[in-house]
Amino acid sequence: MSVDGWKTILVLGGIRSGKSEFAESLVTDAPVVRYVATAPEGDPEDTEWATRLAAHRARRPGSWTTEETAGEPRRLADVLASAEPNETLLVDDLGGWVTVLLDPDHQPADDLATIAELAEAIRTCPARVVLVSPEVGLSLVPTTPLGRAFTDALGAANRAVADACDAVVLVVAGQPAWLKPAASAPTAATTATTATAPTAAATVAASVGSAPVRPVDAEPTPEVQLPDVLTHTPPVAPNQEPGNPWAAPTMALPMVATGLVIQPGMELPMPDEYAGPQAVDRLATLDVPGAGLGVLDRVVGFAAATQGTSTPLAWGSVRVLLLHGDHAGGASAGTVAGESARRAAQARAGQGALARLAAESGASLQVVDTPAAAPMEHEPALTPQQVESALRYGWRLAEQAADAGVQLLVLGACGAGTEAAAAAVLAATAGAEPPAVLGRVITDSGEIDDAAWMIRCAAVRDALHRTRSSPRGAKDILSELGGGDVAVATGVLLGATARRVPVLLDGPVGLAAGMVSRDLAGQARHWCLLADHGGHPAARLAADVLGLTPLLDLRLDLGEGANALVALPLLRSVLALAAALPVHPSLAGDAALDEPESPATDPDDTEPDDTDLAAEPDFTEPDFAEPEPAGPGPTSTAPDEQPASGWRAG
């Protein structure tokens, strides 16, 4: 991975300075890493050198691929030129590359021309590249001609590569010092971040915080701290004793820069293609009196695929992300000023439909403020820098949830103008007509406001006309039409996909983000589940395009996110039932059919004896005692019920 959106980084350092470990820490979160080894094998009898190479190989994760270029130094430029945009290349190191370049087997050659070719390949490489190189400029001038030739060539290579790279860092005693661009004094926020998370990733974040790596002409885009995670308890019924009050925030992740670059063609994981069908087939064998779960068997198949097992468990830890961001201009026609902010504050206080449903479901709640969008009919909703920041912010929210053990994310929104923004995104991505995907505007008094609906349609129409000649890439759509909430939601979907966390969608914003995420990572939609489209025309169209079939048709309109929480207990019950029920005895084999044998009888003895005839059945009516009122005592657990255990996200 690169730092703050930069693609190419040169990591310099002396012998045993920790430069290789630091470079590896920059790419640990990259989905596709190719390790380019430049050093020759060396003398087979040199055990110390062999030990060093073995240590380097042992540190590499099994998911990385390795490519050797020691045989031909010019091949390194070809490897960079042929890299794919979704790859991350780690070249370790240029010292070994120069050693091969100066080998007599590759002479005579124009070393400077080969170095220039390498620098040009770095500039034009479509992939993210991290290069490691020894810094030789601090030592004495070698006394041998070969030593001087090596230092001269490596010095020239370092200068050329440093000029071609976006960022350069010098590692001394394991501590990074950023050289390009020039470092500035650390801020108090940076010090706090480093103290909070003294890990390798935090060290990278602190270094970037003290020397932000960004274009000279770009506005500063500091990382925003993630919002608090709130865990509320259900409200007390009037006839119950008061319990615990609404809980305070339980968790806040320290600010850590991930160095993430989100771009089209990302290769993210897919759910297990075999576990889902196996789980659905298993449902036909369960001991149920009726025909089974009906359309809800899709819940079991989805959970099985995302959990990677044919017997999925009910989601235990659930987190609701409520995205709050307003859209200015005609998109918000018909809304009351400040209403969305009131809803967000209400959710933070544990009040309102969303917070109470989350509390009843035992789900944590995170209210996320997103950038406000400009009037899309007149100007882009967001700047490109805001889009990049919002995407990374959403990814970090998903990472925070995965690190906390969350097994399901529920995506909600409460901003003004979100329906119009989602309609604009659908019109740009699916060719929909704005009037066909814009729902009726309902006022607080329950009346239909046709005038506000027409203003929203006109705003979407004018925005599409303004951008008729603009590119239709994912980031372009987010910048021109989508706004902050859709951009953050898109980042959440991508980050959740990368961490194998399923997402329960509910409403226009989440589905619009699903449409945009297709162009960035097509795998994201396979990690999404739609409980109910709520009767919203934009949600119906987006679900059809994404291939998401709603599980229910309740036509709820409690706000985006709250509708999904109404369905969540039902979905959990289905998963718990499917996991706990045994196989039907007729399909369980001979062992399940063992029954007590009846006394042996003579097959010829068919005549009843006198005792049988004398025994008259008792048809007297039994006494039905009045049932005692149920007390508040503990409930019993059936012998075949097992407590649900958590499952770990991959």
Q: Which residues are catalytic?
A: 560
Of 494, 496, 502, 499, the C-alpha closest to 303 is 502
Cα–Cα dist 430/414, whole Å: 24
Neighbour tally for 101: CB within 10 Å: 24
Cα–Cα dist 647/307, whole Å: 8
Neighbour tally for 339: CB within 10 Å: 15
**3-class secondary structure per residue, 359-385:** HHHCCEEEEEECCCECCCCCCCCCCHH
119: left (phi over 0), alpha (psi -120 to 50) or beta: alpha
Of 85, 76, 104, the C-alpha closest to 161 is 76
Report DSSP state, residue 71: T
Of 25, 36, 24, the C-alpha closest to 68 is 36
Q: Write the CB contacts of 584 (distance below 8 Å, at least 6 apart in sequence).
A: 285, 286, 287, 288
Cα–Cα dist 221/385, whole Å: 7
DSSP 3-69: STT--EEEEEE-TTSSHHHHHHHHTTT-SSEEEEE-S----TT-HHHHHHHHHHHHHS-TT-EEEE-
Which token pair is 514?
Answer: 């699903």
